[in-house]
Structures are given as C-alpha cells and as structure tokens.
Amino acid sequence: MRKVIIILIACSLLLIAGCSRPSAIQTDETKAFQNDILSQYATIKQLTIDSGDTGLSFHFVMDGSDNELKAIFEETRQFFLSESVQTKIVKERYADKHATRNFPYPDVEIVFMLHDKDTADYKYTSSYYGSSTDPSIVDNYRTWYYFEGNKAGVKLEQNRVS
C-alpha cells in the first residue's frame, strides 16, 4: 500500500512539473513594441506577451473605444506578422524547437480584457495551419477569427477587422 501511495505521489509530481506554464517573451522586438503601443494608447493599462507550449498570446487590459481596440488589434497583428517576429520568435522559439511535432508552429491570440476583468471580452486568433488534422495545409496566419465573449468565432474577411 505504501508503495502505491509513493508511486501516485511521484506520478502527480511529474504531471504537475510536466505541464508548461506560459512564460513572458522578452526580446528587443517585443520590448520596443510594448513601449510603442503603451505610449501611443493611454487606455492600455497592461500588455503581456506570453508563450505557451503551443501558442503565443498578446493580452491587453484596457479601457477604450471599439475604434481603439480595432486599431490596437491591427497594429499587434502587423507586429506579429513582421519578418523579425516570424523569424526570431515564431521560427526559432517554436518551429525549430518543436520540429519533431506534427504541428511545430504556434497558434496566436490577441486578447482584450476590458475594465480589469480576468476574462476575455474580445479575442482574435490565427494559426499557421489551415487544418487541425493535416500539417501540409498551410494558411501562414492569413485567416483570423474574432470572438466576442463566449460567442462563437467569426471569420474575418481578408485584411478587414470586424
């Protein structure tokens, strides 16, 4: 009985230690982007850029208008799609590191939490892949989806913000 308890505790510790937690991405590019966007929009209270095991997240805590939210999304999307981010973060941190996986490239989400809430009010997502089952179908982050609260996602028209 004692051995069973020890094995269960050991397995639990391995499981807890094995689950990756998001970690902040701090590169020269992300620091410059954070400084620029925070100085440009006084309504942004906080911006965190995190990487998890399978994705990259931009989390904005802010008060602002719909027009500001859309402008911030577009600037963030352009930053994410920039050559330097695609090379130094997406390719080097994810694709090269996870080359043995079927889907080594990360998903991306841009999340807006209004009025200091802990839940997403608005979220935009995209994926490198055009299929969740076939890694040979590549979208290269061209297709974006918009979510409002818990509602179903809406596909954005090419180069148009909802």
- Structural domain includes residue 3: no
- Structural domain includes residue 51: yes
- Structural domain includes residue 112: yes
Distance CA 41, CA 26 (A): 20
β-strand 44-51 against 23-24: which pairing, if any?
antiparallel
Over the chain, what is the mean pLDDT? Answer: 83
What confidence tier does 14 reach under pLDDT thresholds 50, 70, 90? Answer: very low
Structural domains of the chain, count: 1
pLDDT at 34 over 50: yes
In terms of Cβ atoms closer than 10 Å to its own Cβ (0-12, 13-18, 19+), residue 105 is buried
Distance CA 119, CA 78 (A): 24
CA atoms within 13 A of residue 46's CA, in its CB half-sphere: 10
Rounded to 5 degrees, φ, ψ at 52 are -110, -170
Place of tokens 């997240």: 57
Q: Compute CA 85 distance to the chain's CA centroid, rounded to the nearest angstrom.
A: 13
Q: Compute CA 108 distance to the chain's CA centroid, rounded to the nearest angstrom.
A: 4
Distance CA 92, CA 65 (A): 35
43: containing domain: 22-155
82-86 average pLDDT score: 94
- Structural domain includes residue 17: no
- Structural domain includes residue 50: yes
- Structural domain includes residue 151: yes
- Structural domain includes residue 65: yes
For residue 63, give the CATH number of its domain: 3.30.70.2960
If one counts every other C-beta atom within 10 angstroms of the C-beta of residue 15, the result is: 9
Q: What is the reported pLDDT for 68? A: 94
- Structural domain includes residue 38: yes
Q: What is the reported pLDDT for 97? A: 79
- What are the DSSP E strand ranges found in 52-141? 55-62, 107-114, 122-126
